[in-house]
Structure 1
């Protein structure tokens, strides 16, 4: 393999969570007075921390963004994820192969909070491959699109970021991987990866069955 380590985003790369999370968020924003379709909600929030959109949420709802509301969102989100989360198709085989090929030098580097990451990976049976190598943007000085979470993961694995492959699915995440100096491979299951290439992805693939091949 061309790389010494592989760093995975979580939402949309390891687990099919984006529509579940944004469905809960859309419903709770609706309760505050901001009406969005699911697609509009996904377009605004995917790849970002909800709190980073505090100013816009307050402007659209006319209500203060509180820690109590954020905690309620996370609780409802986690309950819904626990009930409905599934893995991205074909990701288990890819992760198992890369875990073996890199002698365990894989990590999950996500913009999500740690309880959410661990809940999802545990629920779909991927946690054993990443335990002890999970990095959350919430625990970094800056979250994506800044490179902090990817730099922390590479440092923990003892690998220069330039020797890392990053697997991402959003423009925010691709920017973070590129800023870290890694080579970014973009998962675009619907086939339109132009926006991901435009922000620096090295290549786009559409099925996790292809991941090992594109990294080789």
Structure 2
């Protein structure tokens, strides 16, 4: 185990401590379970350009990752001279859903980490700002549907405040009847990272180590889901001793 991860464990909630107990893993969806953010970035970049904001697809992907449409709408309106049409959010949602039928893929290592959790009998849930409709399509297109049960998939649309607020992750823990400090969240965005941190949960951040990240105490950084899987294995095995 890397030295930076060992140090992070000392500052993290007890879910990853030897004398703790990992009881739930909560996954973000986009950029963690499925590679879909390029699709969303292209659609939203095209929409923004249509109304006068000269932003590229990759820039839109970076800026809007993990952000709900209501906040994306506000951000676009900051860069254009006239308000977006009354039903723009529904239009954008429809465009995104249509695009998702064609170009969504599972993230490398996703089935490995899910099988690891099953092998260790650790429950898992999903907490995503995406709508339930979008997640159903993403999992169907990426052939991951058999891994997820509907009642264990939670959307930011289902709580009063989506990420970056902690409500969604706290709701998932509540549904599992576990304490937040006994949970691990797997995230890739700063928005989701803040939600996990404010929920009092351990967060595994899935991101290239060369890229910057917020300086949260106890943050576990990995580059791949396979690394996350190995980390969870080590945690669980240490807690059984």
Could you say whether these structures have the same fold, taking a TM-score greater than 0.5 normalized by the shorter chain as the test?
Answer: yes
Specify whether residues 138 and 4 from structure 1 end up closer, same or farther in structure 2 by C-alpha distance, changes over 3 A only: same
Shift of 1:174: 0.7
Quote the residue 1:149 is aligned against: 168
Whole-Å Cα distance in 2 between the matches of residues 99 and 21 of structure 1?
30
Partner residue, 2:226: 209
8 Å CA contact 1:34–1:60 kept in 2: the answer is yes
Q: 1:10, CA displacement in angstroms?
A: 0.4
Aligned-CA RMSD value = 1.8
Query: Do 2:24 and 2:182's aligned partners in 1 also have CA atoms closer than 8 Å?
Result: yes
The farther-off stretch of 155-164 and 37-46 is: 37-46
CA distance in 2, matches of 1:63, 1:200: 42
Q: 2:140 aligns with which of 119, 122, 125?
A: 122
Query: Matches of 2:194 and 2:181 in 1, distance apart?
Result: 15
Shift of the alpha carbon at 1:201? Answer: 5.5
- 1:74 to 1:54, Cα distance in 2 relative to 1, 3 A: closer
Q: Does 1:69 align with 2:88?
A: yes
Larger Rg: 2
Query: Which residue matches 2:8?
Result: none
CA distance in 1, matches of 2:146, 2:176: 16
Structure with greater contact order relative to length (CA < 8 Å, sep ≥ 6): 2
Residues 18-167 of structure 1: pairs in structure 2 closer than 5 A: 18-103=37-122, 105-131=123-149, 132-167=151-186
Q: How many residues were matched structurally?
A: 213
Residue 130 of structure 2 aligns to a residue whose secondary structure is coil
Tell me if the contact between 2:42 and 2:57 (Cα under 8 Å) persists in the aligned partners. yes
Residue segments in structure 1 that go unaligned for 5+ positions in a row:
none
TM-superposition CA deviations, 1:94-150 (whole Å, max 9, x none): 1122134235x1000001111111211222222332212011111211011110000
Structure 2 unaligned regions, length at least 5:
1-15, 236-241
Q: Displacement of 1:59 after TM fit?
A: 2.7
Q: CA separation in 2, counterparts of 1:97 and 1:77?
A: 32
Which aligned runs of 4 or more in structure 1 are off by greater than 6 angstroms? none
